[in-house]
Structures are given as C-alpha cells and as structure tokens.
Structure 1
Amino acid sequence: MSSGPVLEGVLAIHKPAAISSAQVIRDVQKHFNPSKLFEPWLAREQEKRDAEGHNQKRKRKWRGRRETSVKMGHGGTLDPMATGVLILGLGSGTKQLGHFTTECTKTYETVVLFGAATDTYDTEGKIVGRKPYDHITMPMVEEALAKFMGKGMQKPPIFSALRVQGKRLYEYAREGKEVPVEIQERPVEVHELEMTEWMEGGSHKYHWPQREAEQEEKKFAEKALHLDPSETEAPKVDEEATAGAKRKRDEGEDDAQAPEEESSSKRPKAEENIPTEEHDEKSKIDDAKVDEDSSVSKQDDAAADPEEEQPPCPAPACRIRMKVTSGFYVRSLCQDLGAAVGSLGMMTELVRTQQGAFELGSNVLSYEDLRQGEDVWGPKVKSLLEDWNGKQKQKADDEAA
C-alpha cells in the first residue's frame, strides 16, 4: 500500500454553470484518480478487490467496473444552469450524503422574471403561457413573498426528475400523457425569504426564452399549470418602446443597462443526473428523492435558435434570497410567486450559497482550482477533508460523553 493517510469524507465544490452535477463528479474524479493525494485510497481499494472471491470479481467485470476510481457521489444535485455549493462524498463519505439531501438547510439566491411560464419553470425551457405584468410592483411582490414564509406545502414541478410509477414526470409531459396519479404536495419550510433587488422592465439583462412549446405541450401545461388557453398566445410588444431602446443602445446612451445577450445556441443541453459507477447506495437517494434543483433532461430541445440581438425584456424581475429545508423547489417558488401577483413567473438564475456547514467564500473548493493542478488543489482538498473528519470525530465524542 502507498504511504500516506487514506483521505475520504465530505467536502464541497463551487459548481460552475453549463455543466451537470454528474459531470462535476466525473471532472473531479479525472483529477483525483491520478493524484498523489489519493494514491493511498486507491491502493487500499485495489487490495480489497484483489482479495475478492471469484464470484465477486466476475460480477464486477459483468458490470464493467474494471478500473479503480475514487468512489464519489453528491449530496443534492444542481441544474446545469445553476451554480454554487455542491456537496461531494468521497469514499466512506458517500454514506453521509443522506444528511445533506434530507436534513440540512440550504440558502439560495435566484432571479424571478415575470410575465411568462415555461414547461421547465425556468428560462431553459419553452414558453407555454403568458400573462400581463404591467400591474406588478415591488411592494406587491414583497407582500406576496411574506405568504411563503414558514411551514407550508409545495408541489414539485411537472418537469422534475421525480418518479411516478417508475417513470419520471417530465417523460409523461414530453409524451403529452396524463400523469397516472395526482402529484402530491410535500411539506417544506422557509426560514428566511427576502427580496434583495428589484428590476423594472427594460432595465435588466434577463429574457424570456425565444422557443415556443408545441400545441400538445401547451395543452398539457394548461392543465398542469391551470392556464387559460388564451394566455398561450404571443404577447403584444410595444414596438415603439422596443425601437427606442434599440436606438439608445446603438447610440451608446444606456450602456449601463444594456442586457448581456446570450444566444440560445450557446445553451448547454441539460443532462439527467446519473450516479457514477462508484456512487454509494445511500448517495443514490437523489434518484428517488431529488430536491429543488433536480437536473432536467431536455434532449428534445437540442435544436438551437439562431443567434440574434434581443431588445430588453419589458417585464419586471427581482432577485430574492431564501433559506429553506431540503426538498424545496426554487423553480416552483418562482412559478408560484408569479401566480401570487396575478401573472406568471420563471427562474432565470440560481446560486446555492450554503448547504449545511458549507458556504461559498468560506469552506468550498473552487472548481477553477482543479485546472491549476494538484499543487494548488491538493493542499486545499486535504485541509477540507481533515477539517470535516475532525468535526465528525468531535461530534461523536460529544454524543458518547
């Protein structure tokens, strides 16, 4: 066995946008597997495999598990569009991931854009309905937010990764079929909820998606989201205001408020969250019980819109911060908030700033550190794992006392 301590436990990494949580695990394993830091762990694992009986080796070979890899899983998935704290369990640490998916609180920052709804409740989907938004004001939204505080019930999004009778909900939706059982609301609790920024229409960078859902999908959404069929029509755009805004941008009069344009052709195709080969059984709990940020498969959306300049979105938007229990769907809150102010809403940004004892800017590994090499990320990973294990030992000692 290689010399040095066998490192395993739990740490957190700052997930970037545009990749799935499962891809983060693959990327981290790619750096950890050949490293000096995890040589002792891999050597120990290989010794265990060498000592296996014939049937165990045969079973492993049949499953395609031939190469030894650092065992890893995550404690609550994040959408490809989302960023922030992603909990990773390494080795025996995968057995502790259940705490992060079912027990601890999480803090999020999100941006809600009003006036339209999509099949995925966010800007990565296709528009299934629209409603007026001119009446929405900052005080109105703040008053509506107060109603979501405390304990309550929340219904998961139709296009979530939850399973109903062995099939994911979005698969029923994609096929235009009725879900065979009523989607049950689940108990959730909101400990903190506040608006941190209000953005008037035309003053922000956010946009509704340019893609419209097919009629079959809209009909499904009308029932699921309780939309009036007339609300799926394209909105009337104030052409004079739009032309004026474009003229100002061309003349360089409002650079400070010019939107950061992002072509849908640059949007990544979301991936379904699939556990890695070495994913521990307990960490697979996300497959059966995902929380708010479940990765949504949108394979039928691979065709991208042509890149074109978009005028500022005329609908207002707001940034909100919340601290919630596990099992809370942020995208559902955005959808419900839109309905609460007599319109529709969708999630345009999501950052998980805290989960359990891990918080951005404090004890979370930067994803960019991986690219700097083991000399950079190695000491940080070692310190994070030692800190986690030290606190776990202290906790066990306190409980035993």
Structure 2
Amino acid sequence: MSKIVEGLFAINKPPSISSAQAIRDLQRVFNTSALFAPWIEAERARRDVESQRQRKRRRDKRIQVKIGHGGTLDPMATGVLIMGVGKGTKRLQNFLECTKTYEATVLFGAATDSYDTKGKLLRRAPCEHVTRAKVEEALKRFRGKIMQRPPIYSALRMDGKRLYEYAREGKEVPREIEERPVEVKELEVLEWLNAGAHEYSLPEEEAEIEAIYLAEKVLHLGDSPDVPGKEEMGASDREIQPSPRAKRKRSLDDVEDEVVTNKRPTLSQEATDPSTLMSGALPANGNEESPESHPLKSSPEVKAKDPSFVPAVRLRMNVTSGFYVRSLAHDLGEAVGSLACMCALVRTRQGDYDLGKNVLEYGDIEKDESVWSPRVEALIEASQHSIES
C-alpha cells in the first residue's frame, strides 16, 4: 500500500466562511485526491474488520478523510486555521493552549449584540472625543494578566447549555457570565484610522427592544454611565419578555477553546450553519415599540450625525488561550467613554504556524491537485515529529 499521509498543516481561512465549512471544503477535495487515496483505503479496510456493533453505532457510513481544526475562527475572521488529518486530529488540542497573534480593527461609536459588525446595533454613543492618545492610554489596562468576560455569542457552557443558545432563543442566561483570567502578552496600536478615512461602517440593522433589555443585563451596557440612552428605557420596556417566534440570521461558529472534528461534531448542523437563527423582534404584547422607547432613537444629537463617520483603530495582540478579541473591542469602547465593536480580524500566528510562511493559501485547494498536493504533503511531513513524539 502507498504511503498514508496524515498529520498537521495550516490554511489561511478566507472571510465569510465558517471553520466548519473549511473542513467540508477540504474533505470534498481530499476525498477524491491521489494524495489521500491510501488513507481512504486504509480506513475502508479498518471498517471491514470492525465489529457489527460498531458498524450499527456509526452515524456516518460514508468514508471521508478525517479532518479537524484546532481553534475556531469567526466567519468574518481570516488567517491561520490549523487542520489535522487522520491521527493529526489527536494533536489539535495542543494548539488550544498555545499563544495566538491577532490583528484586529475596532470601530467606535456603537455596540452590537455580537460585539462585531455582523450583529445588530444595540446602542450608539458619541465618539468624537476618541483619539489615538486616549486609546493608547486605555490599552494599558488590557495588558498582562487580566479578567475578561466572554461574549454571549460563545460556545462556553452554562448549566449544560451553550451561551449562544440562550442568545439564539432570546432567553436570559441563568446567572451572570463570569469573567475569566486571560493573559495579553503584547498589545499595540498598528494604525489609527480617522473618521471618513477608512472603508468600515457600523451595521444598519437595529436590535429589537427586548434584545436591548437583555443586553442591559448580559452585555453590561447598563454599567457604563457614559452610554447615551440608558436612562430612557422605561419600566414598561424592562418588563418585556423575549418572544422565541421572531428569528434572525446569525452565524454561530465561535467555538474558542474547543477542537472540532468531522468525526464527533460538538455543534449541531443548525448551530454551525450560516443560516442559524436567533430570536428577536416583537415585544410580548405584539405591539411595536414607540420611537421614544428605543435607545437607538432616543438620542437626537447622536442620530443627527452620519453613523458611518466614526474613527477606528487597528491593533496587534499576542494572547493566551481563551481570549476573545471581540470582548476586547467591546471593553475598549467603554474604556474610552464610548462604545465599540470589532469590524475585522486576522489571526497571523498560532503556535509555530505563521501567515505567509508555512500556511497554505485557501484558494490553492480549488486548483489542480498538482498545485496544492506537494505543499500539503510537505507541511504534513514537517509536522510528523509532533505526531510521533
């Protein structure tokens, strides 16, 4: 039998696809390739000798190249995504514990339910006073060993249920999302982007009133005295209960600190598909809220300004496992007396894999096998020492 190729390599994930979709794309190509044909044959032979009981328990009867990833990237994010093939999937857990380097762009002037510009607007806030100097000063409190509260759109469990499931169903979490210790080894400003001098813009879709009510508790927007619109939420608004009937699309591929493989998926297809729905819209009584009761409409001096005319900052950070860049963006907005959300993210390094050095360009897998096969084989071969150790 020809050589069985299995081990580790990394790809440069493009934007707009989930990490789970990246696995499916690679499988589609690898399943019919000459490079992984020996692996397919070995797997077929192994299944032929397995017990009848194991065959019945096997959910997926198809034989596909076993692929997993170690450390999810949000769909909007790009950069290093480490992949394991065959026995290489057993080593993916190691990469969740290593440091990662990110370049992120933070947009000031608003907060969203997802902490990034793919979510719905919860609140807007003045940001004319935000300068590079103020950001540089605020970043001091985020360096070193700090406590960070994960976003509601995360796969962390609370009472056996993932946080994003509470958000998707429009339900309050049973208790406060606790802060966790993380370490920021390096954090610096790469570029300051003046308002009107960049391509980024805040989302236009606004959250419903009950989503904003939940945000007061879950996202701690109500903790900031500088956030306009806080006092305008009346008692009647606070009594509104979320309706699980109204849905909205939201990609839920945030599985930080968890290895995902195609063998034993930890998330359902519904939860990882870009068409996953989250609850939203109408108040419990079925009536639309009045303009005066909506925090996004309650601050005329903010609404009168062009919402896209806001500053941004590009940051580079080297962080430990469990760190959420979106949480940093959200917290930085409050630290400078405004609001903020993440609008771009690139993972430039994870473990020993560096973007532009030993990372496969994603577009190469759509080319002829003669283009990508030697590169993939060389990268996997270089990882063998970690597989055998």
Instruction: Give the TM interval when normalised to the shorter protein.
Output: 0.7 to 0.9
Q: Which residue is 1:161 aligned to? A: 155
TM-superposition CA deviations, 1:125-168 (whole Å, max 9, x none): 00111221111111110011121111111110022222212222
Aligned position for 1:108: 102
Residue 324 of structure 2 is aligned to residue 329 of structure 1: yes
Deviation at 1:5, TM superposition (A): 1.1
- Partner residue of 2:55 out of 54, 57, 61: 57
CA distance in 2, matches of 1:123, 1:231: 20
After TM superposition, the structure 1 = structure 2 runs for residues 286-305 of structure 1, keeping only pairs within 5 Å, are 299-300=277-278
Cα distance between partner residues in 2 of 1:192 and 1:43: 46
Q: Which of the numbers 180, 184, 206 marks the counterpart of 2:178?
A: 184
User: Is residue 212 of structure 1 aligned with residue 225 of structure 2?
Assistant: no
Aligned residues: 338
On the 8 A contact 1:22/1:273 being kept in 2, the answer is no
Residues 96 and 13 of structure 1, relative CA distance in 2, 3 Å threshold: same
Deviations 1:229-280 (A, max 9, x none): 853799xxxxxxxxxxxxxxxxxxxxxxxxxxxxxxxxx9525479554248
Match of 2:187 among 161, 173, 193: 193
CA contact (8 A) 1:218 1:232 kept: no
Residues 296, 333 of structure 1: CA spacing in aligned structure 2 closer, same or farther, 3 A cutoff?
Answer: farther
- 1:199/1:232 CA distance change after superposition, 3 Å: farther
Q: In structure 1, the residue corresponding to 2:229 is in which secondary structure?
A: helix
Match of 2:345 in 1: 350
CA distance in 2, matches of 1:14, 1:233: 45
Q: Do the aligned residues in 2 keep the contact of 1:194 with 1:320 (CA within 8 Å)?
A: yes
Q: Distance in 1 between matches of 2:369 and 2:181?
A: 43
| Separation of aligned partners in 1, 2:156 and 2:204 | 27
Q: Which has the higher strand share?
A: 2
1:321 is aligned with what amino acid? Answer: R
Give the letter aligned to residue 19 of structure 1.
I
Distance 1:112 1:334 in 2: 6
TM (norm. structure 2) is 0.81
Task: Give 1:145's aligned residue.
Answer: 139
Equivalents in 1 of 2:328, 2:376: separation in Å? 35
1:278 aligns with 2:263: yes
Q: Is the 8 A contact 1:204 1:313 kept in 2?
A: no
Structure-2 change in CA distance of 1:365 and 1:232 (3 Å):
farther
Ranges in structure 2 where 5+ consecutive residues have no aligned partner: 233-248, 282-305
Q: C-alpha displacement at 1:363, in angstroms?
A: 0.5
- Do the aligned partners of 2:72 and 2:81 also contact (CA within 8 Å) in 1? yes
Residue identity over aligned pairs, in percent, reads 55
- RMSD of aligned C-alpha atoms? 2.6
Match of 1:368 in 2: 363
**What's the TM-score once normalised by structure 1's chain length?**
0.79
Give 1:34's aligned residue. 32
Match of 1:87?
82
* 3-state SS of paired residue (1:94): helix
In structure 2, relative to structure 1, the CA distance for the partners of 1:216 and 1:298 (3 Å cut) is farther
Q: Does 1:129 align with 2:123?
A: yes
The match for 2:12 is 14
Contact 1:14–1:360 (CA<8 Å) still a contact in 2? yes
Aligned equivalent of 1:73, options 52, 65, 68: 68
Question: CA 1:298/1:214 → structure 2, altered by over 3 Å: closer, same or farther?
Answer: farther
Q: Which amino acid aligns with 1:299?
A: L
Q: Structure 1 unaligned segments of length 5 or more: list them.
A: 235-267, 288-293, 304-310, 397-401
Name the counterpart of 2:290: none
**TM-aligned CA deviation for residue 300 of structure 1:** 4.0
Q: Is the 8 A contact 1:78 1:295 kept in 2?
A: no
